[in-house]
Amino acid sequence: MSMDRTRPSSARADSPVSAAIRAARWIRSAAADDEHGRRWLANPDLRGGSAVTPEPWSLYSGGAGIVLFFLELAAATGHEAYLDDARAGARWLAATWREREDVTLYHGLTGTMVALMEAGWALGEDRFEAEARAIAEHIVHLGRSSGDNAGWSRDPAQRGGGGVVLGLLSAAARFGLPSCEEAAVEAGLRIARLPVPGHLFGDGPGLPSDAVTPGFLAGTAGTAFLLARLYGVTGDDRFLAAARSGAGFVREISVVTGACAVVPHHVPQGRGLHYLGFCSGSAGVARMFYELHRVAGDPGDLDWVERLARGIVQSGVPRRRTEGYWNVACQCCGAAGLIELFTGLWAATGNPAHLEYARTLAADLIGRATDHDGRGYRWYQAYRRLRPEEVTADTGYMVGAAGIGAALLHLDAAGQSHGARRVILLPDNPFPAIPVPPAALRGV
């Protein structure tokens, strides 16, 4: 819940863009400059520490994600000062990436590469694209010199090697580097040969050793997503067969009621715990089914996307808190991740109900923002469901204000059919980068 008990409702932001601008003010208060450029504290609030281990470089909670947010805010507002923020952050990433060992998408070098690619394109500065290309080549080299045929990680899910595969496919498309696609395909074939569910068992905080997680960031759905993406790139039926195997497992263990579906957090022990967010719940699993529909054209996969979306709506959120939708606002497991799903679904299908629900979620999210000291919008939340007493407000993309602001900007872009603009979507987001249905654009 919001901790801003004193501000009158008339003082609240009345649009997604103005809320994102106020979030930027909070993030700017966390800036820390040095000789390399700019990084941002995970949480500058004197009330407490960060919800996560500090990673000033990462896409998940550090500079890479914040750079992306400032690039998008500049595009949405036309204010070049936000480009200066993004440039300073990209300078820091470009100067320090060689100090990193983690190569994953959300916590390591692949995320830094994505941020520098986008910064180079948006700012028109070749130096950032050059560093992104150098990172891509470095990641390829690391994967081929690992010696144990495991690639970059023994974990094939999005949080491990799977996320690296998606990043390399993006780099291959951006830079025309065959080596990136070849390395991604090689790693993908190793993943495709794994048995369903194709990820590490019980490898999560508080999970039993034999638990199976069907979700997106650390489970079956995310693995199936990257295999579907590889099928779309290569046309190799081995990838499609493996992706369908993963999707079949997710369907089999899901709870279906009429036209609605929800996914267990883990099985067999957590069948009754249904997360709704991106990392381990319906919003992430829906991405997998939409990617399968996008590359293979089976209407049954789109039907499952809609089933999962209806399951979220029927749960009663945002007005109702459930065990799988607690006091959490962020992209990873909260409201911002749901906004991304329903905005993307509207762009993909043109169903006005999806856009209206995204706006409902956004209104609730904006209403939960706090600005008790005039330093900008932040969202206090219990990031870890099992530790409800740990309430913090972070600046980062997946856990805090930058990602919440980005989701609000994507929703704003969805309402601009006569001034459509490109939004920045991460490699694991399958929805249109111009979030407006094609039918709405034909009359522009």
Taking only the tens place, the pLDDT of each residue in 57-97 is 999 999 999 999 999 999 999 999 999 999 999 999 999 99
When comparing pLDDT for 424 and 156, which is higher? 424
The pLDDT of residue 390 is 82
At residue 200 the predicted structure's pLDDT band, cuts being 50, 70 and 90, is low
81-85, 143-147, 272-276, 329-333: least confidently modelled range: 143-147
147-151, 269-273, 363-367, 408-412: least confidently modelled range: 147-151
The pLDDT of residue 358 is 98
Mean pLDDT of 293-305: 98
Query: 268 pLDDT exceeds 90?
Result: no
Mean pLDDT of 117-139: 97
At residue 6 the predicted structure's pLDDT band, cuts being 50, 70 and 90, is very low
The pLDDT of residue 113 is 98
Taking only the tens place, the pLDDT of each residue in 136-180 is 999 999 988 765 545 788 888 888 999 999 999 999 999 999 999
Per the prediction, the chain carries an average pLDDT of: 91
Most confident listed range (78-82, 199-203, 372-376): 78-82
Instruction: Name the residue with tokens 């039907």.
Output: 303
User: Could you tell me which of 424, 429, 349 has the C-alpha nearest to residue 76?
Assistant: 424
Taking only the tens place, the pLDDT of each residue in 205-253 is 677 777 888 999 989 999 999 999 999 999 999 999 999 999 999 999 9
At residue 387 the predicted structure's pLDDT band, cuts being 50, 70 and 90, is confident
Query: 391 pLDDT exceeds 50?
Result: yes
The pLDDT of residue 198 is 55
The pLDDT of residue 88 is 98
Query: 302 pLDDT exceeds 60?
Result: yes
